[in-house]
Structures are given as C-alpha cells and as structure tokens.
Amino acid sequence: MSGPAFNPFAVNPLRVNPREITERNFTRAAERLGLNAEQQLMLKTPFREVKVEVPVRMDDGSLKVFLGFRIQHSGVRGPAKGGLRYHPAVDADEVRALAEAMTWKTAVVNIPFGGAKGGIACDPTKMSRAEVERITRKFVARIHLLIGPYRDVPAPDVNTNAQVMSWVFDEYSSRHGYSPACVTGKPIELGGSLGREQATGRGVLFVLADHLKDLGKPLKAQKVVIQGFGNVGSNAALLLAEQGADIVAVSDVYGGVVSKNQKGLAVKELAAHVKQTGSVGKFPGTEPVSNEDLLTLDCDILIPAALECVLHKDNAPKVKAKIIAEAANLPTTPEADDVFAKRGVTVLPDILTNAGGVTV
C-alpha cells in the first residue's frame, strides 16, 4: 500500500483498555460540571454501533474475512465525524473510546459535528494496494446506509490516507450519487482541503504557542522532544522549528535520536533523511535513544505523537518536561495524569491539542 507506513505505535503497550481511560476522564469532567447520573449516562452511551464482516478476495485467490467497526457516539451537534483506521489491534472497545473522544473534540473546537470512529482489524503492511482498495470498498458497501454528508463523515486515521478516502468517496458516490462531502481528508483534486495533511501538526503549534503566551514565555529556544515522526510528529517538528523551538530529540517505530549537543536538530534535513532511509536512525549529529528513554529526556516540552498509553504510572515520575502536549490520542493513562497533577506538570489534552485535523 502506498502512502503513510504502517504504524506499530498504534499498539497499546500496556494492554490498557482505552474505554477505561475515556470513562474515567469523562466521569471526572462530569463531576466537576455537576452532571447527574442520568445526564452522564446519556452523554457517554454511543447511539449506534455497527460490527460487520468484510470478506475480501486476496491476490492469491484465497478468501479472508475481516471484522470492521463503525461506532457513532453522538450526532446531537451535527453529523458524526471521525477517522477510519486499519490495524490488527482494532476492536470494539478501542473504536468506542475514540468515537467518544471525537464527540468532545468537535465540541471543544465548536464545529457542527458529533463524534464517530471506524476501523478494520487488518494488517495493511501484509496487503497489496489492490487488496487495501478491495477491503475499503467492501467495508463501505457494508455501512454506506449509515454514513454520508448528513449522517457520518469518515476521515483518515492510522494507516489510512487520502488515497483510501478517495476509494471511500468513490464507493459511496456509486451508490448515492456524486457526494464529495461524504469524507474529509481526500485528495485536493477531489475536493479535499488545502493544508489538511499539515493541519494536526499546525494545531499542536497553535495550542502550545497560546499556552506559552499565557505563561509569558516565548516559543523560541524551548527544548522540545517528540515521540513519533509520522504525519503529526514530523509536521509539528517542522512548524515548531520554524518558530524557533529547539527540537532536541525525535523517534519513530525503530527508535529515536537525540542531539549530541542538546541543540536543535536540523528538522528539514531530518525529514529528508527519513524520506531517503525510512527512519530517523543514524541522522548525523545524533545519538540513539529508545522510545521509552526518550520520554524522560531533559526538555521543556514533551509531545507524544504516536502511541496510546505511553505515559503511565511507572514513567510519569521520571518525566522532566513541564508541559506535555498530547498530539496522539489517549497517550496518558489516568494514573499518569494524577502524577503530573501532583508534580505541577501541565498536560494539554488530546481533544484540543490534536484537533487541527478535524477542523480543516
């Protein structure tokens, strides 16, 4: 499959049920708002959950049946909205949790959508482009009556991209007529939004810049560590570096690199290096660091931009950053949140920090 590489970061390392995280976060917020039990029950319960079989003829002639999910958490404020991810670890609890998070995310940035999420339990790294297209079209054929511009609008997510969205668009349109508004994140040539690929990273920049402004601090010369150098992490690194921040360490699935002299990395050159070699590893002027150790490096700002649940009760006491910007979904467990609160570490939540993607 062409496009963004398979993202092993999406695997939950601690086997934490993401639904437990969203439940606890919701309960805390609801109690602060004084919501009664009935209000809480209505707000946290998804209004529609769909599980479908997705039979696909593989290139070798064999037939495989995959499981697909589309969970619409809320449509109160408008059509449900949320990504479509392809990953072996996709299950109902993960999709349910992410759908709920999308409801709060669209509300926080005040756009007229609700929350949804979808996924297929498959491994796109072991599939050809043609197989990925077939699984996409079959999934849309199974759920097309439940999605659409006024019902539920999918978007790219883990291991899906503009090409996958173009297949969703085409399959949906073949059944309902030309409908460019049925998906977002599609190619510009098909009506996509200019700047969509950089939008999530740019949102990270805006949230950080505003927070630092409130603190009376400049973004320039802030030491930043970023876990994840995919679409979100790489664009956040490039944009922050343009504003004078020092990106001192980054990582990908193969591990990380840290500047030998603790000065900012040449991010444009690093991006070119990744494009050429497929990894941040062995970038000149750096030393290797593991993904786990990267999280506890000396820095001002830590940006987890990849894996769920990477900040947990075991490593939270060791984190040296004073600001954590959650560019990934659900990167911080509730136990880690408690540790950070006691230590005075500011956590900029994912439902705001990474909302740029759903806004553009």
Average pLDDT for 97-103: 95
Q: Is the pLDDT of residue 16 over 80?
A: no
* The pLDDT value given to residue 3: 39
Q: What is the pTM of this model?
A: 0.89
Q: Once rounded to an integer, what is the mean pLDDT over residues 314-318? A: 97
By DSSP bridging, strand 323-325 and strand 346-348 are parallel
C-alpha–C-alpha distance, residues 298 and 245, integer Å: 15
First to last CA, the chain: 25
Confidence of residue 114 (pLDDT cuts 50, 70, 90): very high
Average per-residue pLDDT for the chain: 94
Q: Which region among 55-59, 196-200, 214-218 has the lowest average model confidence (pLDDT)?
A: 196-200
pLDDT reading at 196 higher than 80: yes
pLDDT band at 2 (very low <50, low <70, confident <90, very high): very low
Which residue(s) pair with 250 in the sheet? 226, 257
Task: Note the pLDDT of residue 10.
Answer: 45
Q: What pLDDT score was predicted for residue 306?
A: 85
Strands 115-120 and 63-74: antiparallel
Mean pLDDT value across residues 319-345:
96
**Each residue's pLDDT tens digit, 239-294:** 999 999 999 999 998 999 999 987 899 999 999 999 999 999 999 999 999 999 99
pLDDT band at 177, cuts 50/70/90? very high
What's the whole-number mean pLDDT along residues 14-26? 82
Tokens 């007229």 sit at which residue?
112
- Does domain 197-359 fall under CATH 3.40.50.720? My reply is yes
Q: Report pLDDT for 15.
A: 57
Nearest to 70 by CA among 105, 46, 41, 87: 46
Q: What is the pLDDT of residue 19?
A: 86
User: Facing residues of 9 across strands?
Assistant: none
**pLDDT per residue over 118-162, tens digit each?**
999 999 989 999 999 999 999 999 999 999 999 999 999 888 999
Domain 8-192 class? Answer: alpha beta
Q: Residues 81, 105, 117, 186: which is the catalytic one?
A: 117
CA-to-CA distance for 84 and 148, rounded, in angstroms?
14
- The pLDDT, as a whole number, for residue 14 is 53
Whether 186 is a known active-site residue: answer no
- Please report the pLDDT score of residue 9 as a whole number: 46
> What value does the mean pLDDT take over residues 77-89?
95
Cα torsion for 329, 332, 333, 335, to the nearest 10°?
A: -160
Mean pLDDT of 30-58: 96
Q: Looking at residues 186-209, what average pLDDT do you find?
A: 95
* 319 in Cβ contact with 298 (< 8 Å): no
Instruction: Check pLDDT > 60 for residue 231.
Output: yes
Q: Which amino acid is at 265?
A: L
- pLDDT > 50? residue 70: yes
- Per-domain residue ranges of the chain: 8-192, 197-359
For residue 194, give every residue at least 6 positions away whose Cβ sits within 8 Å of its Cβ, in sequence order, or none. 188
Cα–Cα dist 73/116, whole Å: 5
Burial of 40 (0-12, 13-18, 19+ CB in 10 A): middle
In this predicted structure, the answer to whether residue 85 has a pLDDT above a threshold of 90 is yes
Enter the DSSP assignment of 262. Answer: S
How many angstroms separate the most distant Cα atoms in the chain? 63
In Å, how far are 107, 206, 307, 356 from 349, measured between CA atoms?
14, 13, 15, 13
**How large is the average pLDDT for residues 203-216?**
98
Name which of 334, 301, 282, 294 is nearest 318 in CA terms.
294
> Given this chain, do its domains 8-192 and 197-359 carry the same CATH topology?
yes
Q: For the CA atoms of the chain, what is the radius of gyration?
A: 20
Fill in the amino acid letter for 80.
A
Q: Considering only 17-26, 88-97, 108-117, 196-205, which range has the smallest mean pLDDT? A: 17-26
